[in-house]
Structures are given as C-alpha cells and as structure tokens.
C-alpha cells in the first residue's frame, strides 16, 4: 500500500472499536487483543505467537523474544524487546488484559483459539475487521475517508504512529521507530514522516 493509500485511526475511533468488541461474543478477548495491538504496534503474526508468560502485569510490561519477531531468523534478526504497556496511562491496556485473563483457562497462548492452540494471524485480523464494521469506523487516508472494510490489524499499527506523533507529547520519529521496531530509522521516516505537521 503506497503511503498515499495508508489508513489510520484516531484514538476515539479505536475506543469505538473497543466498545463494539465488548458487545461481541468474545468481548474480553477481543477488547484485550485490540488494545494490545494499538498500544504496542505488534504485527498480527507476532501477536498470535504471544504466550501468557510474556506478559508481566505487575510491572506493566510485555516481553517478546527474538523468535516471534518479523524477519526471524536472518542476518537482520531483531533483539528481544520489552514494551511498557500504556506508557501514557490512557489506554487501560493492563486492566483489559487482566480482566481478560481472569475470565479464561490456563492455556499457554495469550490468545488461544477455540479450534487450535492459538489464534491465527487471519483470526486476529478478523477480530479487528469485525469490530471496525460494527463501530462503522471510517479510517483516515490522504485520499480522504475510507470505509470500515479497509480496516485491518495493520491499520492499528499505522494508528500507533499517528497517536504517538499527533495525540501524545514529546514523541519523535525515533520513538515511533523503537515502538514499531523498524530495522532502520529510514523505514520510519519513509512510512510516517507525513504524519508530522510542517
């Protein structure tokens, strides 16, 4: 998708998606999944590989090993990463995950599937798309507003960058690069420099 076609959501739109998710069949799971993606910028394939043991709710951290990150294994394999959950104190990520975990079994996977050991990346994307359609979200793009049908898990990743650069204070492209774990600051500049005001 070219940067002109890239879609993103504003914080109030993500909140509307979370409210729609909480009205669904798997309300606690879907809310926790959406807010965790929106907080961390994890890719759906990474989220599907998360284990319950990687979440430290006491410290408010998510620790992910190298093996579940994009490009593993190759010569650009990323280092393990520790995310501070809800650093700005406005998303309620820890509370959402805590409430979700209190309501489920002891599966090793953070997001287990009803049909397998863990949700697939496609299943995760389906949760995001269903919540966007229920909330009738119209994402933003440089071509204008789009329909809810184009919202995906990757839209939430773009939305992290928008939130950090436009709705939070003191973040620069460097901070976005670290949060999204781009291999180079040049990738971050190419993808998100247009989110900054000139």
The answer to whether residue 30 scores a pLDDT higher than 80 is yes
Burial string for 98-133 (b: 16+ CB within 10 Å, else e) reads eebbeeeeeeeebbbeeeeebbeeebbbbbbbbbbe
Residue 4 in this model has a pLDDT that exceeds 80: no
Average pLDDT, whole number, for the chain?
92
Q: Look at domain 3-195 and name its CATH class.
A: mainly alpha
pLDDT per residue over 121-142, tens digit each?
A: 999 999 999 999 999 999 999 9
Mean pLDDT of 61-88: 84
Q: Would the pTM count as exceeding 0.75?
A: yes
**With pLDDT > 70 as the criterion, what percentage of the chain qualifies?**
94
Summarize pLDDT for 167-197 with one digit per residue, the tens. 999 999 999 999 999 888 999 999 999 998 8
Task: Give CA separation, 60 vs 95, 140, 148, in Å.
Answer: 10, 30, 31
Confidence of residue 77 (pLDDT cuts 50, 70, 90): low
Strands (E), the chain: 55-56, 61-64, 81-84
Whose tokens are 């329909």? That residue is 147
């Amino acid at each position: 998708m070219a940067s002109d076609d890239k879609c993103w959501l504003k914080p109030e739109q993500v909140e509307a998606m979370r409210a729609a998710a909480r009205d669904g069949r798997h309300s606690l799971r879907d809310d926790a999944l959406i807010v965790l993606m929106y907080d961390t910028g994890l890719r759906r394939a990474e989220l599907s590989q998360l284990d319950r043991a990687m979440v430290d709710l006491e410290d408010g951290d998510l620790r992910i090993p190298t093996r579940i990150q994009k490009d593993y294994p190759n010569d650009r394999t990323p280092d393990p990463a520790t995310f501070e959950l809800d650093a700005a104190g406005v998303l309620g990520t820890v509370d959402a995950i805590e409430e979700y975990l209190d309501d489920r079994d002891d599966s090793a996977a953070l997001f287990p599937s009803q049909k397998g050991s863990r949700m697939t990346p496609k299943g995760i994307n389906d949760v995001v798309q269903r919540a966007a359609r229920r909330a009738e979200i119209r994402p933003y793009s440089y071509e204008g507003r789009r329909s809810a049908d184009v919202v995906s898990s990757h839209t939430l990743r773009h939305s992290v960058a928008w939130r950090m650069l436009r709705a939070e204070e003191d973040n620069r492209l460097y901070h976005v690069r670290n949060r999204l774990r781009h291999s180079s600051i040049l990738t971050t500049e190419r993808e998100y420099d247009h989110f900054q005001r000139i």
